[in-house]
Structure 1
């Protein structure tokens, strides 16, 4: 998988894959999330990407990622809240 938005190959950790299965989030959903979701940076390399998906009652869907040589998806969450 490749992210045009972040101009990097996407690497999904085993933990993130397990969470995606548990939460019914497909690879296509993850790619849409990464390409179109809102972004909030924790620092220069760590960030969250979140997006509302129509038809889901557990929104926002969020991926915690690291910008390295690859875009590393560490985990995928639901019921995410942007509030600090």
Structure 2
């Protein structure tokens, strides 16, 4: 998977993949989140991205990630 927004490949950690499966979050939703979500940086490389998804019961999805030579999705969160 590739992010045009960040111009790097996206790597999903095992933990993030497991959380996505548990919450029925698709790779398409993850890509939309990364490409169109609101970004908040903790520092130069660590960030969160959040986006509202109207068609989901847990409609606010966010991701914690590290941006270096690739975007590493470390954890996948879903909240109301």
- Relative to the length of structure 2, the TM-score reads 0.95
**Aligned-partner Cα distance in 2 for 1:45–1:29:** 22
Where do 5+ consecutive residues of structure 1 fail to align? none
Tell me what 2:62 maps to: 62
Report runs of 4+ in structure 1 exceeding 2 Å deviation: none
Residue correspondences, number: 80
Tell me what 2:23 maps to: 23
**Is the strand fraction higher in 1 or 2?**
2
Cα root mean square deviation, aligned: 1.0
